[in-house]
Amino acid sequence: MIYVDTREKEDLEKYLKKHGIPVERTTLNVGDYAFSNVGVEFKRYNDLYNSIISGRIWKQLYGLKEYPRPVLLLLREPPSPSIKDYKRFHTMIRSCKAIVALRFKIPVLEGSSIEEVGDLIIQLYLKSAPSASSRPLPVKRPYTSIMEVKENLLGSIPLVGLKKARVLLNKYHSIRNIAEQSVEELASNKGIGRKIAETILEVLN
């Protein structure tokens, strides 16, 4: 059985049912699709972009790691008409995928259509543990403070880490303030340097 969060659109669910996959809608505390010990966070590119901007994606990914086998599943799509900076759109998505794979160690899969994404879920389902019919019960994470979320977000950027993240947040107080600094200003902080400063600003902007 594949459990689908009640907030998910029905197009992917219909594709799974069409191919004979048992599906049940339920409220998932973590992830959008769950089966056996696999948890899947599904994002369309535009939703992923907005999640990066708001910082919501990082909290979702920390929660996703409650599953023994977490997966980030993406649907490629062009930027919505409201997004004017296409270069920033694609740069932020590429940076996010790199962070997810390297820092979170979560596999990133993607397709260019609902059918391709559906086929990926079907393959994950079929190749998962024999206990796929058992209901997944992710344990709810203890409460995390806003500052801890900010530290983890900033620390997930390659070459930064929690120690440097705390130094920067103690000085600039917020990720937005950090994003507004120049390369030279960030590089002047102990342990940062120009390369790390450039990486931070590339990810945040």
pLDDT digits (tens, 9 = 90+) for 46-80: 999 999 988 888 888 988 988 889 999 999 999 99
Q: Which CATH architecture has domain 2-133?
A: 3-Layer(aba) Sandwich (3.40)
DSSP string computed for 56-102: HHHHHHHHHTTSSEEEEEEE--PPPTT---HHHHHHHHHHHHHHHHH
Average pLDDT over every residue of 102-115: 92
What stretch(es) of the chain map to CATH 1.10.150.20? Answer: 146-204
What stretch(es) of the chain map to CATH 3.40.50.10130? Answer: 2-133
Q: What is the pLDDT of residue 138?
A: 53
pLDDT > 70: percent of the chain: 92
pLDDT band at 141 (very low <50, low <70, confident <90, very high): low
For 74, the token pair is 């993406």
- What is the pTM for the complete model shown? 0.64
Determine how many CB atoms are found less than 10 A away from the CB of residue 7.
9
Q: What is the pLDDT of residue 144?
A: 55
pLDDT band at 14 (very low <50, low <70, confident <90, very high): very high
Domain 146-204 fold: DNA polymerase; domain 1 (1.10.150)
Residue 157 makes CB contacts below 8 A (sequence gap 6+) with: 99, 103, 199, 200, 203
Name the average pLDDT for the chain.
Answer: 86
pLDDT band at 132 (very low <50, low <70, confident <90, very high): very low
pLDDT > 90: percent of the chain: 46
Q: What does the CA dihedral 173, 176, 178, 184 come to, rounded to 10 degrees?
A: -140
Tell me phi and psi for residue 20, to 5 degrees: 80, 15
Average pLDDT over every residue of 112-129: 90
